[in-house]
Amino acid sequence: MKLFWSPNTRAVRGLWMLEETGAPYELVEIDIQSPESKANPALRAASPLGKVPALEDGPVRIWDSGAICGYLADQYPVHRLAPPIGDPQRGAYLMWLMFTNSVIEPAIVEKTAASAPAPTRNGWGSWESMLGLLRNAVTPGPWVLGERFSAADVLIGTSVIFMRHFSLMDEEPALDAYALRCAARPAYQRTMAIESGEGRRAG
Ligand SMILES: N[C@@H](CCC(=O)N[C@@H](CS)C(=O)NCC(=O)O)C(=O)O
């Protein structure tokens, strides 16, 4: 299995998820500033826009971080990173798995571009409503599905950590505590070591 990845990008989601599963993988570093690097045919086969993360697993090619995390959770059920089909938490899990790319990211654009909120027209609601939903999602926690850590926390966790890092939120005690819980996970710490270059491995 190969993860096309670049440090300090959304590819961290795929990397953290792989570290949660413990599955063997090869990291293929892409320089997203370099047209030559993004022209890598194997990357293009997995990711037509040349974006990271992208995953190659046998005949499977996936280029969306949410889909990659969901796929890996289902492929490695022994790690219980997704409620299985038929589980009462499956619906909530799928909703939170998609929340980052369908709600948080557009809401961040709304905030950073200083667009006027249009919560009825915009599918993500608004920046404020997104934050309210997130606060409720991690309260009481520890994870968005309560006691059960899942692939959805990889998505939501990286988003909350990103928003804190770039000071997009004011003080948010529940979200701050959640971010610290995510960051304390051994798989997340291994991911950060790889991102920084210390723990990089291939194959
Ligand atoms: N929705 C995609 C977004 C991926 C994405 O935009 N990745 C950026 C890095 S954070 C990228 O590869 N940019 C390089 C480019 O677009 O050329 C996902 O979540 O996987």
Q: Take residue 5 and report the two structure tokens written for it.
A: 């990845």
47 lines ligand 1 (CB under 6 A): no
Q: Take residue 130 and report the two structure tokens written for it.
A: 């997104």
pLDDT at 143 over 50: yes
Residue 67 near residue 61, CB atoms below 8 Å: no
Q: Could you report the per-residue pLDDT of 20-33, keeping only the tens digit for each?
A: 999 999 999 999 99
d(CA 96, CA 81): 13
Ligand 1 geometric centre to CA of 10 (Å): 6
d(CA 151, CA 31): 26
Identify the residue whose tokens are 């990889």: 154
Mutate to test the pocket of ligand 1, among 51, 69, 156 (most ligand atoms within 8 A of CB): 51
51 lines ligand 1 (CB under 6 A): yes
Residue 180 near residue 189, CB atoms below 8 Å: no
Give the per-residue pLDDT at 201: 52
Half-sphere exposure of 191 (CA within 13 A, CB side): 28
65 lines ligand 1 (CB under 6 A): yes
First to last CA, the chain: 9
Q: Could you report the per-residue pLDDT of 112-138, keeping only the tens digit for each?
A: 999 999 999 999 999 999 999 999 999
Burial class of residue 158, CB neighbours in 10 A (0-12, 13-18, 19+): buried
Burial code (b: 16+ CB inside 10 Å, e: under 16) for 124-137 equals bbbbeebbebbeeb
pTM of the model: 0.96
- If pLDDT is split at 50, 70 and 90, which confidence band does 200 have? low
The full DSSP string for 86-112 is T-TTHHHHHHHHHHIIIIIHHHHHHHH
DSSP bridge pairs for 57: 60
Cα radius of gyration rounded to whole Å, the chain? 17
d(CA 129, CA 86): 30
Cβ neighbours for 51, distance < 8 A, ≥ 6 positions apart? 32, 63
- If pLDDT is split at 50, 70 and 90, which confidence band does 202 have? very low
